[in-house]
Amino acid sequence: EKENIRCLTTLGHFGFECLPYQLVNRSMQHGFSFNVLCVGETGIGKSTLINTLFNTNLKDTKSSHFYPNVGLKVLTYDLQESNVQLKLTVVKTVGYGDQINKEGSYQPIIDYIDAQFEAYLQEELKIKRSFKYQDTRIHVCLYFISPTGHALKSLDLLTMKRIDNKVNIIPLIAKADTVSKNDLQKFKNKIMSELISNGIQIYQFPNDDETTTGMLPFAVVGSTDEVKVGKRMVRGRHYPWGVLQVENENHCDFVKLRDMLLCTNMEDLKEETHVRHYECYRYSKLQKMGFTDVGPDNQPVSFQEIYEAKRLEFHDQCQKEEEELKKRFMQQVKDRETAFKDAEKE
């Protein structure tokens, strides 16, 4: 039976329905930031894709294949679209996959990601924190896969396995126009099955993006050149057999990647970085320092109590070491006096 619910109408306008507009205005004033890590072999098209994504020409020098070790190049740009300002930080690998011994190729990437987490944690632990602190934590990793059409390389599997708990990974098939359409779908299925079998966690899209999830990894082609198709100019690549249009969804997945990355999930990527990856790093770091939420009796303990206990423990340890040094010094003095007395007797 339906209950008789009495509905009362409000007599006035309270005004808190304007709260979302306040957040929008405040965000517009402060601007936005986004940090992207591009991992891939030299010459695979990392810079070209970034330029295509943000429809700009981010000036960058070409990398060489003769670096002795893998390095990272960090570049920051101030972009503006309409009234929205974006501080974009692009971190690209240099010399990745060029060395004969590729055993430690992933280590500089891990060190950089951890260094940004550590810098943010140290800022949090300060007594006087800076409210204008520039967050440099990596929000998304675009992992560029070579268009071999067969399977992932061992370096790809090893690197993604090492960083999947530190950053949101989105796999991309670079220069996808070099693979036929039938082989491309088989290549996608092979990559996803290898990622699942190796237990590699990639970025999980929100529930409303199930259609996008089924298209992973994105097969992308980047180009900032304008080519004439019919009566209009489009961004694409001109080949002897025709024109590949970058923004044509029948030709590649660039539009889906751009919509997913910039239009729908940018804030989710940033939140996932803070809530999941950074919290995991923070938890392990504080645990190594000896901080816990509960004591030996499973009762909650405060940060101050743990600090005082650690301070007393350190003080007792210093006193103990000091006593041991004194005893050792006195024993050395006694031994030296005995040696002098024996020498005097002789």
- Give me the count of residues in the chain: 346
| Mean pLDDT of the residues in the chain | 87
Region of poorest pLDDT, from 86-95, 164-173, 234-243: 234-243
Does residue 47 have a pLDDT over 80? yes
**pLDDT of amino acid 214:** 67
Beta bridge partners of 234: 227
Q: Respond yes or no on whether the N-terminal peptide bond of residue 217 is cis (omega within 30° of 0).
A: yes
- The whole-angstrom distance between residue 156's C-alpha and the CA centroid of its chain comes to 16
Does residue 213 have a pLDDT over 70? no
Q: What is the mean pLDDT of residues 220-238?
A: 88
Does residue 293 have a pLDDT over 80? no
Q: What is the mean pLDDT of residues 325-331?
A: 92
Does residue 205 have a pLDDT over 60? yes
Say what the pTM is. 0.82
By CB atoms closer than 10 A (0-12, 13-18, 19+), residue 115 is: exposed
Which of the four pLDDT bands, split at 50, 70 and 90, describes residue 10? low
**pLDDT of amino acid 299:** 66
Q: What is the mean pLDDT of residues 213-225?
A: 85
Sign of the four-CA dihedral 281, 284, 286, 292: positive
Q: Please report, for the chain, the start and end positions of each structural domain, with discontinuous segments joined by +.
A: 16-289, 293-345
Q: What CA–CA distance (Å, rounded) separates 169 from 143?
A: 7
**pLDDT of amino acid 195:** 94
Give the tokens for residue 278.
């950074």
Beta bridge partners of 226: 235
By CB atoms closer than 10 A (0-12, 13-18, 19+), residue 152 is: buried
CATH T-level fold of 16-289: Rossmann fold (3.40.50)
Which of the four pLDDT bands, split at 50, 70 and 90, describes residue 170? very high
Q: What CA–CA distance (Å, rounded) separates 165 from 15?
A: 43
Residues 18, 19, 21, 25, Cα dihedral to 10°: 130
Which of the four pLDDT bands, split at 50, 70 and 90, describes residue 295? low
Q: Quick one: residue 58, left, alpha or beta (phi over 0 = left, psi -120 to 50 = alpha)? A: beta
Does residue 21 have a pLDDT over 90? no
